[in-house]
Amino acid sequence: MAAKKMVDQKLPQIPGIRLAAVPAKIKNWQRDDLLLIAIDEGAAVSATFTQNTFCAAPVTVAKEHIRGGHIRALLINAGNANAATGERGLRDARACCVAVADALHIEEQQVLPFSTGVIGEHLPLQKLLDAIPTAAGQLQADGWNTASRAIMTTDTRAKAASRTVKIAGEQISIVGIAKGAGMIQPNMATMLAYVATDAAIAQPLLDELVREAVAASFNRISVDGDTSTNDACVLIASSATGPQIDDLKSAEYALLKAAITEVHIELAQAIVKDGEGATKFVTVQVNGAASSAEAMRVAFEIGESPLVKTALYASDPNWGRLVMAIGNAGVEGLDTEKVDIFLNDIQVVEAGGRASDYTEEAGQKVFTEAEFTITVELGRGGCSEHIWTCDFSHEYVTINAEYRT
Amino acid sequence: MAAKKMVDQKLPQIPGIRLAAVPAKIKNWQRDDLLLIAIDEGAAVSATFTQNTFCAAPVTVAKEHIRGGHIRALLINAGNANAATGERGLRDARACCVAVADALHIEEQQVLPFSTGVIGEHLPLQKLLDAIPTAAGQLQADGWNTASRAIMTTDTRAKAASRTVKIAGEQISIVGIAKGAGMIQPNMATMLAYVATDAAIAQPLLDELVREAVAASFNRISVDGDTSTNDACVLIASSATGPQIDDLKSAEYALLKAAITEVHIELAQAIVKDGEGATKFVTVQVNGAASSAEAMRVAFEIGESPLVKTALYASDPNWGRLVMAIGNAGVEGLDTEKVDIFLNDIQVVEAGGRASDYTEEAGQKVFTEAEFTITVELGRGGCSEHIWTCDFSHEYVTINAEYRT
């Protein structure tokens, strides 16, 4: 997308959470590349992790530690993914947790480690061990913008979002940061997201909330259809403010969930907009499906098709490719004569064929916009779903072909 | 791939089959674009069709007609797919069959129609109806090279292959032609293949043979992972020569199957080599899988990953992307520490991590070759499978972004 400036957002502090970003020189660069997040006692922490079987060492360790509960710190490094690194990779990740635990006087099992960067190279462990005490000495509540920059890799801009919401008369804050510029590109664009609130919420409700918020946000985006070895999304509730929320059906839960989900969606959309080489941001909306799963399948078949994505790049309303993608989604018994397609409010396909009053000029006008919506009506049932995608450009090939050179 | 010259191959005639290609001016071009294949009585014909739900009108009609048996003619046009054309598309396809039936004095139901070209536009029916009698008057046995050119769309070279095999002392010939330059690109690069032999073989055996030959060839290739609305592969046995083959376990069936499968594979590989913008031809071999399905899943996950394909284009042995793709294949319970990867005979991954004596230079040397093999050992069982793929280049984006302009 056009201009990608590093303008700091006004982000709230989250009582009970402090951060520090430091330069550990993990790569040969001059920037912060190690982020420490410290969480006061009494917080609830939930997370979702990559489904990739070849998950990285820090993911294995983080999954193990979070099962024990009582998480007190997160450590995130950029520049090295510590993935496909075998037993030594696991030892390195654990050594980092021990160093954080020593610096913060907590247990090793209370630390979650995260890494993003090159696959297949060992962590420069000593550099991390040297930098961890420095970070621990610099923790402060006002650090989210700095933090959002420290976790970047191929991102062209930092990603952060925030909301405030009044619950039972008290103002609750939510702030989130994320990185990722391909849905993944395994060497450098893992998707990582950290969202924090000072609300007080029971652990089972937070687990449910992160699951639903991720389903509504990060699980609806596609840049290149691949999934990283290191993806993770963490949601922290510090419990510093407001009433304890422990009823899934309460108004308080609904309010908190809505605000937290908005932060997730804003971060997810920011990743697509910063997609490698992306020039278009497109919502694919599928209505009239027999099930949600079916609607999602059709939406992703469109949003991930290289042929659709190159047509988006060319601003070419090549609706034959939309029809082809729908036909490839494996919708059993689809009656193609019930399928309608709209580009914003312009109907391009009517009853499976070209709409009678569609003109190429009208379609072209929509496709030249930087943001628009493709809506598919399947005419099979009452289920709707949507995803967000971007185009496939020469720049994408250049970035990914020349990445290591 | 480098030079793409139109050199006629020496292709045998198939007794019992005659062909004619004529210019019907379906688009504004000067070339043959309509192919008629006439089959003598007594032949067996089998076919496989696209799985795309949005299948084209001619596919619907061809599926209906082949169920009746006794097929006597195929009509193939380039320049217009007759897809997403509703009721009128079906009427047009049937009208073409009637015209062929009239010209050859056979039944409408004995004609199989095929179309490839732009989606969503109606056939220029009168042009086809005018050209069909001309084609019928020019049928001859020696026409396979001309035929292979008449069905081309975005192909940069015609695709044909042949074999001869001695069965029970008699020389049997097999010739095949194909078109397609993306696994599909729906507007112009449908995959079509027509293979003919003068062998005599019972219909159920031919049905089995085409299924197996397609599984060993066209179902193992990927250019962009999409599937056309118009794909079809037809196998004709004219029964003009040799003994009647009616035992699946006979040596005669095995000989014929081997030769026919070779023709299918050569055509399938020719499609990948002519892949849009392709500069590399890569075999992905997966061994040690628990099942064939699992091996195919891993192979396609590698062969269709945009990140792997851009690395192939860049001649960059970025093995982290191979590891990522394997992890994304959904192999339940994969022990990543048993995974080995080879680039030709160079081991790059050993026990899930970088092989101890691997050097970037050795990997680079393999990746700069125009053709090479990536072998994955999963260490789970005894099943092996392979596919053929190509790289993802700037040229692919250019071809597909600028196709309609």
Checking if the pLDDT of B188 tops 50, the result is no
Residues of B in contact with A184 (CB under 8 A): 307, 324
Grade residue B6 by pLDDT with cuts at 50, 70 and 90.
Answer: low
CA–CA dist A278, A223 (Å, integer): 8
Query: B394: part of which helix (H) or strand (E)?
Result: helix B394-401
Tens-place pLDDT, residues B63-76: 999 999 999 999 99
As assigned by CATH, the class of the B281-401 domain is alpha beta
How near does any CA of chain B get to the CA of A93, in Å? 16
Checking if the pLDDT of B234 tops 80, the result is yes
What HEC string does chain A produce? CCCCCCCCCCCCCCCCEEEEEECCCCCCCCCCCEEEEEECCCCEEEEEECCCCCCCHHHHHHHHHHHCCCCCEEEEEEEECCCCCHHHHHHHHHHHHHHHHHHHCCCHHHEEEEEEEECCCCCCHHHHHHHHHHHHHCCECCCHHHHHHHCCCCCCCCEEEEEEEEECCEEEEEEEEEECCCCCCCCCCCCEEEEEECCEECHHHHHHHHHHHHHCCHHHEECCCCCCCCCEEEEEECCCCCCEECCCCCHHHHHHHHHHHHHHHHHHHHHHHCCCCCCCEEEEEEEEECCHHHHHHHHHHHHHCHHHHHHHHCCCCCHHHHHHHHHCCCCCCCCHHHCEEEECCEEEEECCEECCCCCHHHHHHHHCCCEEEEEEECCCCCEEEEEEEECCCHHHHHHHHCCCC
CA–CA dist B236, B245 (Å, integer): 14
Residues of B in contact with A339 (CB under 8 A): 54
Interval B4-12 mean pLDDT: 73
Interface residue A356 vs chain B (CB under 8 A): no
From B153, B190, B197, B261, the catalytic residue: B190
Is the CATH number of domain A17-273 3.30.1360.120?
Answer: no
How near does any CA of chain A get to the CA of B342, in Å? 15
CA–CA dist A36, A40 (Å, integer): 13
CA–CA dist A155, A402 (Å, integer): 16
Least confident of A80-84, A254-258, B91-95, B161-165: A80-84
Q: In degrees rounded to 5, what are phi and psi of residue B69?
A: 75, -175
Pinpoint the residues of chain B covered by CATH 3.10.20.340.
Answer: 281-401
Q: Quick one: pLDDT at residue A381? A: 96
What torsion do the CA atoms of B375, B376, B381, B383 make, to the nearest 10 degrees?
A: -40
Checking if the pLDDT of B387 tops 50, the result is yes
Q: Quick one: pLDDT at residue A130? A: 98
DSSP character string of B247-267: -TTSHHHHHHHHHHHHHHHHH
Q: Quick one: pLDDT at residue B3? A: 36
CA–CA dist B39, A63 (Å, integer): 65
Structure tokens at A265: 């969606």
Please report, rounded to a whole number, the percentage of residues in chain B having pLDDT higher than 90. 70
Tens-place pLDDT, residues A110-141: 999 999 988 888 999 999 999 999 999 999 99
**Max Cα distance, chain B (Å):** 71
Q: Taking Cα atoms as reference points, which of A386, A371, A49 lies closest to residue A217? A: A386
Q: Quick one: pLDDT at residue A402? A: 64
Q: What is the mean pLDDT of each run of 10 residues along chain A (405 residues)?
A: 58 96 95 97 92 86 95 96 92 98 98 91 96 98 96 89 94 94 49 93 94 88 67 92 94 95 92 85 96 94 87 88 88 93 96 92 95 97 94 77 57
Kindly list the strands in the beta sheet with B73-80, ordered across the sheet, starting from the edge strand earlier in the chain. B17-22, B34-39, B73-80, B111-118
CB pairs under 8 A between A and B: 212
From A48, A116, A190, A283, the catalytic residue: A190
Query: B63: part of which helix (H) or strand (E)?
Result: helix B57-67
| CB within 8 Å: A86 and B405 | no
Pinpoint the residues of chain A covered by CATH 3.60.70.12.
Answer: 17-273
Structure tokens at B377: 């050992």
Amino acid at the residue B172: I
Q: Quick one: pLDDT at residue B402? A: 63
Residues of B in contact with A92 (CB under 8 A): none
Checking if the pLDDT of B236 tops 80, the result is yes
Kindly list the strands in the beta sheet with B44-49, ordered across the sheet, starting from the edge strand earlier in the chain. B44-49, B232-237, B192-197, B170-179, B159-167
| CB within 8 Å: B54 and A86 | no
Q: Taking Cα atoms as reference points, which of B126, B355, B290, B57 lies closest to residue A337? A: B57
Question: CB–CB of B55/A337 below 8 Å?
Answer: no
Query: B44: part of which helix (H) or strand (E)?
Result: strand B44-49
Checking if the pLDDT of B332 tops 70, the result is yes
Amino acid at the residue B132: I
Structure tokens at A86: 């075998």
| CB within 8 Å: B323 and A224 | no
Q: Quick one: pLDDT at residue A383? A: 96
CA–CA dist B296, B302 (Å, integer): 10
Chain B contact probe: residue of A318, A326, A337, A368 with most B CBs at under 10 A: A318
Tens-place pLDDT, residues B172-183: 999 999 998 664
| CB within 8 Å: B186 and A55 | no
Grade residue B61 by pLDDT with cuts at 50, 70 and 90.
Answer: very high
| CB within 8 Å: B323 and A405 | no
Kindly list the strands in the beta sheet with A221-222, ordered across the sheet, starting from the edge strand earlier in the chain. A221-222, A383-390, A281-289, A371-377, A340-343, A346-350, A353-354
Please say if B375 is a catalytic residue.
no
Q: Taking Cα atoms as reference points, which of A185, A275, A6, A317 lies closest to residue B404? A: A317
Pick B53's closest partner by Cβ from A319, A331, A405: A331
CA–CA dist B309, B293 (Å, integer): 22
Question: CB–CB of B176/B144 below 8 Å?
Answer: no
Asked if the interface predicted TM-score (ipTM) of this complex is over 0.85, the answer is no
